[in-house]
Amino acid sequence: MKKPELLVTPTKVEDILPLVEAGADAFLIGEQKFGLRLAGEFNPDDVKKAIELAHSKGKKVYVAMNAIFHNEKIEMLNDYIAFLKEANADAIVFGDPAVLMAARETAPDMKLHWNTETTATNWYTCNYWGRKGAKRAVLARELSMDAIVEIKENAEVEIEVQVHGMTCMFQSKRSLLGNYFEYQGKAMEIENRREQRNMFLHDEERSNKYPIFEDENGTHIMSPNDICIIDELQEMVEAGVDSFKIDGILKDIDYLIAVTALYRKAIDLAVEDPDQYDDVKDDMLAEAEELQPENRPLDTGFFFKETVY
């Protein structure tokens, strides 16, 4: 049985080696100019260092170019792809066909992962992008377990699924927080909003707190809970899902290391000793729950329709 890749999103270059030690197989990095909702900002020098460190341990690095691109950024794509080729990135993660077209021109051998966050919901569309050049499809977070297994059974490309972390509920290219602060006459507060990591929208009726932040790609409102299916991996392992992703956005490195180590153990057991995995999976879920902040409960998201945002 094939062992799924464990993909993690580090917050900085210094996270790479500790996460390798914890069991990560691959990393997703990038910078806001080109990538959406990154766990950390990696400038070109950081990208090169991260790739060198990961490759020294036999691990892979994928670079995010899945932002929503307007005309003013189109001319940047070829140069950035050429840089990633020279830096030996293992793949580019894209959503906009403009990236695919630029990659064909500049780095035709570069591996491409299709990720639009929301529209990878059926195997036919995954295969469409596969025939255009993508080698992997990153599935939408709003799919049930049955749908994921069916997609994998019919896919002609690799399939990646997020198994842990928060998800995006809403994105706008507009600076909604900045506009709000300006409306209140608090322009000075806007300057620091991109570094702010403790702002929330409060839903008193449901007792939920939704993290909200801004970056170069606009305003993002995140889920009140974190996905965790560490105790529900077996069906996807048996189906042959290629990559399990831990999203580290708005998390610190200690949390990421602990969660990565926990999923490393779960994946290894699910592949090598399914009976033992079945025996200890509840204990691993309990360990994951102990790692969570009080205001970030765990659930299974849309896998079993436990949560519908």
Rounded Cα gap, residues 248 and 62, in angstroms: 15
Rounded Cα gap, residues 258 and 248, in angstroms: 12
Main-chain dihedrals φ then ψ at residue 166, nearest 5 degrees: -80, 160
Q: Which of 61, 14, 19, 11 is nearest to 264 (CA)?
A: 19
Mean pLDDT of 239-260: 95
Rounded Cα gap, residues 284 and 259, in angstroms: 10
| pLDDT at position 215 | 76
| pLDDT at position 308 | 54
pLDDT at 198 over 70: no
| pLDDT at position 207 | 64
pTM: 0.88
With pLDDT > 70 as the criterion, what percentage of the chain qualifies? Answer: 84
**Lowest-pLDDT choice from 25-39, 173-187, 229-243, 278-292:** 173-187
Mean pLDDT of 42-69: 97
Show the CA angle centred on residue 47, arms to residues 62 and 261, nearest 5°: 60
Of the pLDDT bands very low, low, confident and very high (cuts 50, 70, 90), residue 187 is very low
What are the domain boundaries of the chain? 5-166+226-299, 170-221
pLDDT at 130 over 50: yes
Mean pLDDT of 228-254: 96
Main-chain dihedrals φ then ψ at residue 177, nearest 5 degrees: -65, -45
- Whether 255 and 289 have beta carbons less than 8 Å apart is answered as no
Neighbours of 4 (CB within 10 A): 25
92 half-sphere exposure, CB direction, 13 A CA radius: 34
**Greater confidence, 191 or 121?**
121
**DSSP letter (8 states) at residue 99:** H
Q: Of 27-31, 180-184, 305-309, which one has max mean pLDDT?
A: 27-31
**Greater confidence, 39 or 240?**
240
Of the pLDDT bands very low, low, confident and very high (cuts 50, 70, 90), residue 186 is very low
Of the pLDDT bands very low, low, confident and very high (cuts 50, 70, 90), residue 167 is confident
pLDDT at 253 over 90: yes
Residue 61 forms beta bridges with which residues? 27
Task: Domain 5-166+226-299: give its CATH code.
Answer: 3.20.20.70
Q: Which two tokens stand for residue 121?
A: 């919901």
| pLDDT at position 57 | 98
| pLDDT at position 184 | 46
Main-chain dihedrals φ then ψ at residue 260, nearest 5 degrees: -60, -45
